[in-house]
A and B are shown apart, each in its own frame.
Chain A
Amino acid sequence: MANLASSLAGITSPNPFWLASAPPTNSGYQVLRAFEAGWGGVVWKTLGTPITNVSSRFAGFDYKQHRMVGMNNIELITDRPLQDNLLEIRACKKAFPDRAIVASLMEVCEQKAWHELVKRVQEEAIDGFELNFGCPHGMSERGMGAAVGQHPDLIAQVTEWVKEVARVPVIVKLTPNITDIREPARAARLGGADAVSMINTINSLMGVDLGTWNPIPNVDGMSSHGGYCGPAVKPIALNMVNCCARDSGVNLPISGIGGVETWQDAVEFLVLGATNVQVCTAVMHHGFRIIDQLISGLNGYLDERGIASVTGIIGAASSKVTTWENLNLNYAIVAQIDQETCIHCSKCYIACEDAAHQCIDRTIVDGVAMLRIDQDHCVGCNLCMMVCPVDNCIEMLAVDNGLPAESWKQRVERNT
């Protein structure tokens, strides 16, 4: 069994799986259930002045038979009194002292208000703060959440106020609704943050009912834009995490959030530079029990590779991501179809024919479509492999073209 113990800016937890600040961390009852199930830590549902929510407030993005490939919400921060939340935090910490409890906070942009909230909350034995500069709806209209997260100077300012009084590590949670994620992350560092977490939800509108023209989710015939999350946002989150991990101006530990559902997702976040991961949608979909799969899958993966501790993979693939200009232009691959496992569906053929480079030959032999790659013309784009429904049937093979590695940057330099 590998050692899964994790530490984010000094906040320790027995495993790197935390619940993100969201409905699963609404109450002590839920957090106790999560800890019993095995979650390493939680970021409590954002604390602040209690709000009133609307109903309905969630909507799912389904893809064919698959429910909730993405999810959108127009929920706000906690709707429960601060005192109630704090008492429950105390009980949870007492029952599970080894787990991380981080308090997510949101306040108006005033030094005094932030000081008061931080001081009040840290009377409890919390392990850290997470500043919610990400909520993209409702709270932003009141000058909070993403309204702060979209202004690097405000991020630096509020973080500084919090650091003036905080006795525990401070994580700044970033909104993805910006142009370059590194800017707000650098601002968090300037303000003295101990870590950053990303991503909060992405601006989205889930859809419209075709009969009534009511937007979804529907609140008395109307809707507003909401925050998008779940499996579909993972690639966006991975990119943002990795951009920050590689940036010397950020240089802070990262808690990776966005679309984590399986242990494989978690491994991707970790090797691309996250120190731990947070999960919301997957738990809203399946319940706390997915922690079994996350832990045993990660354990198996590390054991198989002979890696003793989960810390051994943090950022392991981070430097493999670079800018386009550094990629080797002379690296060549071509597709190859395994005739043994091919089910003759011709999906690769039509994809290449209509949308790639017309290099799959299709001939009907005894009524069956036989598919072959014209490897002399294949550009190695991957499309046929992506559409093939049979695992490993189409393989991309490296071809030796005898050319030395050369990037665009090197080519430009050579030609000037």
Chain B
Amino acid sequence: MTLGDSIHKPLSDMEVSIEANRCLYCYDAPCMAACPTHIDVASFINNIATGNMKGSAHDILLANPMGASCARVCPTDELCEGACVYHADDTPIRIGDLQRYSIDWVMRTGTKLFTAGKPTGKSVAIVGGGPAGLSAARDLRLLGHAVTIFEAHTQLGGLNTYGIVPFRLSTEVALWEAQQVVDLGVDVRTGVRIGEDLSVASLLSEYDALVLACGMGGVPPLGLPGEELAGVWDALDFIERAKTGGEIPDLGNHVAVIGAGNTAIDALTCAKRMGSDHVTMYYRRGESEMTAYEFEYTFAKQEGIEFRFFCLPVGFHGTNNHVREAEFVRTEVRDGSVMRIAGSEFREPVSAVIRAIGQSRLVQTLQAFGIDSDGGVVRVDDALQTTRPGVFAAGDCIYEKGSREAMVVEAAQQGKTVAQSVHTHLLTGAAHG
């Protein structure tokens, strides 16, 4: 298995026919409610079953502008398929696969499903061209507002293009999806970081409303000695390089990944597929407390990942400024707290270490916008307006760590919500502060 080998096997026409006809076409279907963007799943599958591919794709993409990437990266077991009435029998309808089949049809045929609305004369700047920014842009264009996206990277797509491992979501699909939005007449300025290359003040004076969709930052430091050594990676930087073909020197045959969430799984499986013999996850708690989805954990095991639980890193050692050993202490969990076991320190030979303990917050960017945040999470009201009138926010930048992981589909839904709020704001003619 290489980095480019997709984990998704396309359905054959026969599988699609059986699966689509197996769908009960439930009324007020639980799958629809479970989808954060509320795709009318029963309707899109019924359209597939009746050979109406255009109608099916329209059902999906109207509700979810990120329907192509979501059909690949959504944790469907936790969402639509988890709510399917057949789930109790472990045979939920393969909704994600059917969705991919439908959108693949759009990609293959080049069918255009949407046109921009009548120009309103209003203009909106969107900061960040990831799933949240793109969804907002799509719906704002349907409503007829002029849209400019400012994106710090050289390409659109956000984490879809740079952060989600290629065997889950290819760059090609991420860019195609972004292009569908751009084709509605969106002005795109890539390579521009707002707050550095262009001031927030100039945006405020030029546009009628602003949408902040800047996502989150890189993996925060562990704060351990030796962390600055070459060969110690930030998982996001690592995956970005792997995905874009950037250089990754000296990965070697003993890769240690610190963390137990979905990003850790991505870093692990990515390193394995790049050819490292031993790729091991180290986690300070036990298996039952891993935050990665169960199907992700299963996938990692299938890919040949090794797991070490109850190990807390305490430092890294190297020669010639390159990491050679990682030092851990054994732990036990008492009443939910991680306790070090005195004298249990041990060292493991490593050729590379990848930090995957979550994402930091873009505090500087938020400060540049002069908006309030709670620990780096942008504060918004129900309409997703920030504390600065006329400035709205969506996506990971408003994501509060809670029961659910940050997801593309949530970002897409917030993008839609923010577009509606901006629209209402522009119609009522309030100025931004």
Contact = CB atoms under 8 A, between A and B. Distances in A.
Interface of A: 262-264, 286-287, 289-290, 292-293, 296-297, 300, 389-391
A293 B55 contact: yes
B25 A293 contact: no
Contact of B17 (A264, A296, A391): A391
B120 interface: no
B58 A293 contact: no
Contacts of B52: 263, 293, 296-297, 300
B370 interface: no
A262 B55 CA distance: 13
Contacts of A264: 50-51
Contact of A286 (B25, B47, B55, B58): B25
A389 B17 CA distance: 10
A297 B25 contact: no
Contacts of A286: 25, 27
A290 B46 CA distance: 9
Q: How large is the interface on B (under 10, 10 to 19, 20 to 34, 35 or more residues)?
A: 10 to 19
Given A296-B58, A391-B13, A391-B17, 11 more contacts: A263-B52, A286-B27, A290-B46, A292-B43, A292-B55, A293-B50, A293-B55, A296-B47, A296-B52, A389-B14, A390-B14
B27 A287 contact: yes
Interface string B258-273: 0000000000000000
Contacts of B25: 286
Given A300-B55, A390-B14, A289 B43 contact: yes
Nearest to B18: A389
A212 to B, nearest CB: 29
A283 B27 CA distance: 12
B54 A300 contact: yes
Nearest to B49: A262
Given A287-B27, A390-B14, A391-B14, A296 B55 contact: yes
Nearest to B43: A292
Contact of B43 (A263, A293, A300, A391): A293
Nearest to A296: B55
A153 B403 CA distance: 74
Nearest to A297: B52
A87 B58 CA distance: 39
Contacts of A289: 43
Interface of B: 13-14, 17, 25, 27, 43, 46-47, 50-52, 54-55, 58
A262 B54 contact: no
**Cβ-closest 10 pairs across A and B:** A296-B55, A297-B52, A262-B50, A300-B54, A390-B14, A293-B47, A293-B46, A391-B13, A297-B55, A300-B52
Contacts of A300: 52, 54-55
Interface centre among B50, B51, B52, B54 (most CB of A within 10 A): B52
A262 B43 CA distance: 12
B253 to A, nearest CB: 41
A263 B27 CA distance: 20
A297 B14 contact: no
B108 to A, nearest CB: 15
Contacts of B43: 289, 292-293
A233 B43 CA distance: 25
Main secondary structure of the interface of A (DSSP, over half): helix
A199 B47 CA distance: 27
Contacts of A290: 46
A314 B27 CA distance: 33
Given A286-B25, A289-B43, A390-B14, A263 B54 contact: no
A297 B27 contact: no
Contact of B54 (A287, A296, A389, A390): A296
B205 to A, nearest CB: 41
A300 B113 CA distance: 11
A287 B42 CA distance: 13
A297 B58 CA distance: 12
A375 to B, nearest CB: 25
Contacts of A297: 47, 50-52, 55
Nearest to A262: B50
A262 B51 CA distance: 10
A289 B17 CA distance: 22
B270 to A, nearest CB: 35
A282 to B, nearest CB: 11
A390 B14 CA distance: 6
A292 B51 CA distance: 14
A286 B25 CA distance: 8
Nearest to A390: B14
A391 B47 CA distance: 18
A289 B43 CA distance: 9
Nearest to A304: B54
A286 B47 CA distance: 14
18 contacts: A263-B50, A264-B51, A286-B25, A287-B27, A293-B46, A296-B52, A296-B54, A296-B55, A297-B47, A297-B51, A297-B52, A297-B55, A300-B55, A389-B14, A390-B14, A391-B13, A391-B14, A391-B17
Nearest to B13: A391
B51 to A, nearest CB: 7
A297 B25 CA distance: 17
Nearest to B52: A297
Contacts of B50: 262-264, 293, 297
Contacts of A389: 14
Nearest to B51: A264
Nearest to A295: B55
B5 to A, nearest CB: 23
Nearest to A292: B43
B177 to A, nearest CB: 23
Nearest to B14: A390
A380 to B, nearest CB: 24
A13 B52 CA distance: 23
Nearest to A389: B14
Contacts of A390: 14
Contacts of A293: 43, 46-47, 50, 52, 55
Interface centre among A287, A289, A389 (most CB of B within 10 A): A289
Contacts of B46: 290, 293
A293 B43 CA distance: 8
A274 B47 CA distance: 24
B168 to A, nearest CB: 29
A293 B46 CA distance: 8
A245 to B, nearest CB: 25
B202 to A, nearest CB: 42
A262 B17 CA distance: 15
Nearest to B25: A286
Contacts of A391: 13-14, 17
B36 to A, nearest CB: 22
Interface centre among A264, A287, A297, A389 (most CB of B within 10 A): A297
A152 B19 CA distance: 48
Contacts of B47: 293, 296-297
A292 B14 CA distance: 25
A265 to B, nearest CB: 9
A308 B329 CA distance: 75
Contacts of B51: 264, 297
Nearest to A66: B21
A391 B18 CA distance: 11
